[in-house]
Structure 1
Amino acid sequence: MQADHSSQLESLVHQQLRECSPVFLALADPIRQDIIMMLTKHDSLNVAQIVERSPMSRSAISHHLKILKQAKLVASTKVSTEIYYALDIEGPVQQLKEFLATTERIIEMKTAGAE
């Protein structure tokens, strides 16, 4: 039974890891990290406001925002002709917590089995 439960957990953690991959990839880039930090200091910013605070071009910032949005780390809202971006990290944070919890259970089981 223990091996079956361990196999199920390993399958679950593998699935969770795949689901978290876009978040890991999005957060791996220093420019995207900078954008995340900017958005922690402001409720929302448009592309021009982010460009003002960055050495990157408008097209580069737009590209990075697209990746952050695909990873569900930022949300966008259109106001008139401008699109504003804001942090929206609750979902990804919950995914990461679940991944870590499953990983910890696997480690605990392996540690208990080694004793």
Structure 2
Amino acid sequence: MAAPLEQLAQTFADCKPLFFAMAETPRQQILLLLTEHQEMNVGQLAERLPLSRPAISHHLKILRQAGLVEVRQQGTENFHFLTAEPAIELIERWAQELRTLG
């Protein structure tokens, strides 16, 4: 079993994409909109955000890579929706490890 500090270091590394994804205001805005509307396509997001469609697509890609958003294809459209549970579990693990060391 890894020492507590080594385990915490690994958890920090595991959290890095998540923290990076949540660090930017546009991505936070996208997450909030998806929380409110459950699923949206890029056009719907563009109607509510001061961002271009390519910029929104870029931010969605980062959110997908971090495991915060998934996509559902319907015909020619892609609908994006929040998948918070994996992120919540990771953050809870990080918090528990911090509590153990503190």
The TM-score with structure 2 as length reference comes to: 0.97
Match of 1:105 in 2: 100
Query: In structure 2, what residue type is equivalent to 1:53?
Result: R
Residue ranges of structure 1 left out of the alignment (5+ in a row): 108-115
Match of 2:40 in 1: 45
Using the TM superposition, give the Cα deviation of residue 60 of structure 1 relative to its aligned residue in structure 2, in angstroms.
0.2
| Number of matched pairs | 102
Mapped to 1, the partners of 2:63 and 2:11 lie a distance apart of 19
Does 2:7 correspond to 1:9? no
Mapped to 1, the partners of 2:99 and 2:8 lie a distance apart of 10
After TM superposition, list the pairs within 5 Å mapping 1:27-106 onto structure 2: 27-106=22-101
Using the TM superposition, give the Cα deviation of residue 29 of structure 1 relative to its aligned residue in structure 2, in angstroms.
0.1
Secondary structure of the equivalent of 1:56?
Answer: coil
Does 2:38 correspond to 1:26? no
- 1:45-82 Cα shifts (integer Å, max 9, x gaps): 00000001011000000000000000000010000000
Residue ranges of structure 2 left out of the alignment (5+ in a row): none
Larger radius of gyration between Structure 1 and Structure 2: 1
**% identity of equivalent residues:** 36
The TM-score with structure 1 as length reference comes to: 0.86
Using the TM superposition, give the Cα deviation of residue 92 of structure 1 relative to its aligned residue in structure 2, in angstroms.
1.0
Match of 1:112 in 2: none
Mapped to 2, the partners of 1:20 and 1:103 lie a distance apart of 13
Q: Which runs of 4+ in 1 moved over 6 A?
A: none
